[in-house]
Amino acid sequence: MDILEAIEAYNNRNGVTLEFKALLSDMDGVLYNSMPFHAKAWAETMQAEGVECEAREFYAHEGRTGKGTINIYFNKYKNREATEEEIQRIYAEKARRFVECGEAHPMRGAQEALQMIKGAGKTIVLVTGSGQKSLLQKLTQHYPNIFTPQTMVTAYDVVKGKPNPEPYLMGLQKAGVRNFEAIVLENAPLGVEAGRAAGIFTIAVNTGPLAEEELYEAGADIVYPDVETFTQDIKKIL
């Protein structure tokens, strides 16, 4: 399957004609090769809270807000929600451990991809569940002339977060387009679910340890093994 076939299937399913005007891009695992650091930082942080867990399982929560992830573990291991004070303390600790992991590098091929899409006149909006300031602040350095505060949806903007469609609906608003005029770029099942639920054509790049099927089952319209393969294929619609 290529992107033209995937778009035809999307059009038929939704009774629309996709007109690509805006890219709504996730951050971790798409723009940055940062997920191994997030997984390690989460596992160490939650272990220090007395939770038995390992790094790998945090890929299943990728896309959630920090509060959402913390409450899943609190409900499971402590039979209650975390307080606001606990959420702030634990998320700050996780963010600190993330920084200790070293500098997360841009995903290979992602800078070229965004420059090419921007160069073709498309609007680009960031849609992330992250509140990791150390990474959000690097965006304008690694992706110059792509992102401004007006074109970013982060953990500080959303209430529900992925897999709820809310962040991608906010992304549509910021881009000033309708759902059949945008494309979502994601790497995690919960993010794919959110894009699909917002009625947007949703592309997944499988940059993590998951099986491709998990991304299709979450609702991806097409899955690529990496950002470079995505870049080659999307040229067909620029």
Residues lying near Ca ion in the complex (CB under 5 A) are found at: 26, 28-29, 187-188
Q: Nearest distance from residue 130's CB to Ca ion, in Å?
A: 8
> Among residues 25 and 123, whose Cβ is nearest to Ca ion?
25
CA–CA distance, 157 with 152 (Å, rounded to integer):
9
Q: Which is nearer to Ca ion, 146 or 190 (CB)?
A: 190
- How far apart are alpha carbons 163 and 65 in whole angstroms? 10
Shortest reach from residue 30's CB to Ca ion, in Å: 6
Q: Shortest Cβ distance from residue 33 to Ca ion (Å)?
A: 11
Taking the C-alpha atoms of residue 72 and residue 218, their distance in angstroms, rounded to an integer, is 20
Report the nearest approach of Ca ion to the CB of residue 168 (Å).
Answer: 13
Please tell me the distance from the alpha carbon of residue 96 to that of residue 78, in angstroms, as a whole number.
24
C-alpha neighbours within 13 Å on the C-beta side of residue 234 = 32
29 vs 131, which CB is nearer to Ca ion? 29
Among residues 90 and 135, whose Cβ is nearest to Ca ion?
A: 135
CB of 191 to Ca ion, least distance (A): 5
For the bound state, the minimum distance from the C-beta of residue 59 to Ca ion, rounded and expressed in Å, comes to 9
Residue sitting closest to Ca ion (CB): 29
The smaller minimum CB distance to Ca ion, of residues 33 and 187, is found at 187
**Please, which residue, 7 or 215, has the CB nearer to Ca ion?**
215
